Structure 1
């Protein structure tokens, strides 16, 4: 089968198209003929070598989620899955390939009206957005700031916060044009990347901040929290925050602020499946929008990573074999 591997850490030119043996499903797994593979920020971090300490070796196949048709099942998996269209997580890799394996307990059947491209735009991002807001103890009537809102995860957080009753949904983004697109998805206030806004009604602080970016500027956003406010880091596309970032929390001791991280790896598979199924059904009805930046053939994965590195992606890039 055709697949993409990281032949050398660094820039997108380190990605190569190769032929690999098709994987076989182990017990508890399914084999999927890939129709679409999502390109995520973590993929670019793995490719760059930033996560080499986590065991990602060169020759690694990137890609954490796919959608397609189940063609074989491993021992212990119901045969009825064969022939079904599904969304599937491939863990920390394996998605940039014509065939991929995934744990059967985590796959989700797709409604007929939802495309494979839309499924990988919503699947991982929607679950992290949902459970990230829950981790922040978000409640209707509270104000929310989404930091780094133009990617698929930020876009889903904006939509869910607006749908679930936020009093205001502010976003940080890099341009007024992006801000207007985010307004059409539920944002009420558009800020620059440092969290500054110009409208008279822009909130000065927020009850919840969902931070997709992290990076060196993250500590400054503790100043943008209301008393009792919660900042949850759900990503780190801008890199790790400085080692001293906790000093800002201590400086605001009397505001009782909370900082935490969130990873979907801590959520039971059955809960993830239920939420993803609800999101797929909602998208099929038109109640949630999958925002796709570009659809590229699998062998243009390097171009997809160039676009990601340039920081101009709005939504998700999807690869199709």
Structure 2
């Protein structure tokens, strides 16, 4: 038996429960990973709330989509060289909050020397979303970027990548001067409060938040500006937000959404490998808010619900 965390009841964090489940065994094309680190993502919180029940998520679901650790067993057809390797893994839409996790052999990436399991789950998904979010916005060096909701793991990576790629300026929205100072140290050049008040003239907005205030950010774009929503931690925008966008017709602005699920797997693998190597060299900084034992997943989700996490919470089974 192994320890796992499941959603016993949709709603608040107390609906999570720690339990013993049978040790899994990898099927053909899969690997078994002894988990050392598990990333706690905003998507886990949304699934736990029950907001995605209509998409097939049910009570009894084990959340978590990214883990890191050592490959301990192989299914048929998997290259024997993976056995004993330290890897990051995407476990799909769940199954990560567990001491031993299953992943497809096509969804694992070897960790370079010098990169910890904890840092890899802090960077693994968020760095890819940040990379492709900027690409989806057709960001070019010299352009001004606003990152809305910059204190989460996706926002932090977007700030760093925009700065590394030669952004003319990188503005951020966040909840406190203290967070703003930390974001400046990572590459931000302008700090705004959550409303974005006082900020305008951005070529690109990468939005991790969405929610009711999303339409107000259209006014902060330049003519031909582009907004890409890569997350919705504040929920869906109002139904009439398209009317607001069309009211700015003369500015020729663009609006898009981006999900990593639409990026080709081979391209994701290449980007993730490159980012892991950059982090091992110290060129990218994974930001860990806190390490908590797997058994304290409820506490991790309470902290996520409070909205004061800077970076990523990581669960450690061992």
Structure 1 unaligned spans of 5+: 198-202
User: Which residue in 1 is equivalent to 2:35?
Assistant: 34
**TM-score of the aligned structures, taking structure 2 as reference length:** 0.98
User: Which residue in 1 is equivalent to 2:280?
Assistant: 284
Task: Give, in angstroms, the shift of residue 282 of structure 1.
Answer: 0.7
- Equivalent of residue 246 in structure 1, options 233, 236, 242: 242
Are 1:105 and 2:106 counterparts?
yes
Task: Give, in angstroms, the shift of residue 214 of structure 1.
Answer: 0.4
Q: After the TM superposition, which segments of 4 or more aligned residues of structure 1 sit over 6 Å from their partners?
A: none
User: Which residue in 1 is equivalent to 2:307?
Assistant: 311
Cα-Cα RMSD: 0.8
Q: Distance in 2 between matches of 1:249 and 1:25?
A: 48
Q: Distance in 2 between matches of 1:257 and 1:106?
A: 36
Q: Residue deviations 1:188-207, cap 9 Å, x none?
A: 0000111124xxxxx52200
User: Which residue in 2 is equivalent to 1:208?
Assistant: 204
- More moved, 100-109 vs 284-293: 100-109
- More moved, 266-275 vs 157-166: 266-275
Structural mapping, 1:1-321, within 5 Å: 1-197=2-198, 204-321=200-317
Contact 2:7 2:48 in 1 (8 A): yes
**TM-score of the aligned structures, taking structure 1 as reference length:** 0.97
Aligned residue pairs total 316
Task: Give, in angstroms, the shift of residue 24 of structure 1.
Answer: 1.9
Contact 1:125 1:152 in 2 (8 A): yes
Task: Give, in angstroms, the shift of residue 269 of structure 1.
Answer: 1.1
Contact 1:106 1:270 in 2 (8 A): no
Q: Distance in 2 between matches of 1:228 and 1:22?
A: 54
Q: Distance in 1 between matches of 2:62 and 2:145?
A: 36
User: Which residue in 2 is equivalent to 1:200?
Assistant: none
Q: Distance in 1 between matches of 2:238 and 2:27?
A: 41
Contact 1:304 1:317 in 2 (8 A): yes
Task: Give, in angstroms, the shift of residue 223 of structure 1.
Answer: 0.8
Q: Residue deviations 1:202-237, cap 9 Å, x none?
A: x52200000000000001111111111110000000
Contact 2:8 2:60 in 1 (8 A): yes
